[in-house]
Amino acid sequence: MSLTIRAMRNHLGTSEKPFYALASWSGVVDSDAFIDRMAAGRTTLSKTDIIAVFQLAREELGRLLADGCYVKTPLGAALPVVKGGFFFPDDPFLPRRPGSGHELRIDFRIDPEIETRALASVQCVRDKEGDRRSPRIFAVAPLPPGNAEEVEVGGLIRILGARMKFDPSNESLGLFFRDGADRETRARVYAQIQPSSLIAVVPAVLTGGSYRLAVRTVSKGGERLEDVATDPIGIRKSL
């Protein structure tokens, strides 16, 4: 098993890199499955015994934290942490009052030996597809089929891909033709808008030349998503 790493589009204007790393776990192990693994391992303790030990540890840990203690356990350290500021030295600390800017929480810091061993052993694999919410462009071709590297202005163009469906009434979404100066022209007429296939009319305002195609959609949460074709395509003015 391994940790899958994919590149996600970075929409923060302060970032120097256009993508950030996101990890996907190989699985989720709940507490019951975790205890089952322990009971099946090198131990004479039964599952019932292990559950009882963990329950006792939970109760005692809660009491100690409520007393304001920094608690070291075999798995790591648990400690109360505060956050916030004051205008005057004797201002009250009000973490339970909304809008106070004060916070009281419990942090857990994994034991350094466990962390070091795990990080030295974990295997990371790259998912080259990246953000699985974003549209993907697989192939571009004129309709009817002809010279795949050149499309005529006013003609039809087909984009094959995935997750490309969008609302054509939203002017910020759709198929865009990007010239060498990164100026974009949106296709306004569509014969087909499906997740795996777009058919659009090449805008008449385009001049002849080389263009990169971009498909732009939006997530359910309102995040703008985009894919840009790897290879440019030639646009030809009709005679």
Count of the separate structural domains present in the chain: 2
Q: pTM for the whole thing?
A: 0.56
What's the rounded Cα separation, in Å, for the pair 72 and 76? Answer: 6
Last residue of a domain, one of 81, 110, 127: 127
**Of residues 168, 197, 172, 199, the one with CA closest to residue 184:** 172
The answer on 154 and 123 residing in a single domain is no
pLDDT tens string 224-239: 899 999 889 998 876 6
Q: Cis ω on the peptide bond leading into residue 144 (within 30° of 0)? A: yes
CATH of the domain at 167: 2.70.50.70
* Model confidence at 147: pLDDT above 60: no
Range of the domain at 220: 136-236
The answer on 160 and 122 residing in a single domain is no
The answer on 107 and 158 residing in a single domain is no
- Give the pLDDT confidence score for residue 71 in this predicted structure: 98
At 66 the three-state DSSP class reads helix
What's the CA dihedral at 114, 116, 120, 122 to 10 degrees? 50
**Of residues 219, 210, 142, 207, the one with CA closest to residue 173:** 219
pLDDT tens string 82-116: 999 999 999 999 999 999 999 999 999 999 999 99
The answer on 107 and 21 residing in a single domain is yes
The answer on 146 and 83 residing in a single domain is no
Confidence at 14, pLDDT banded by 50, 70, 90: confident
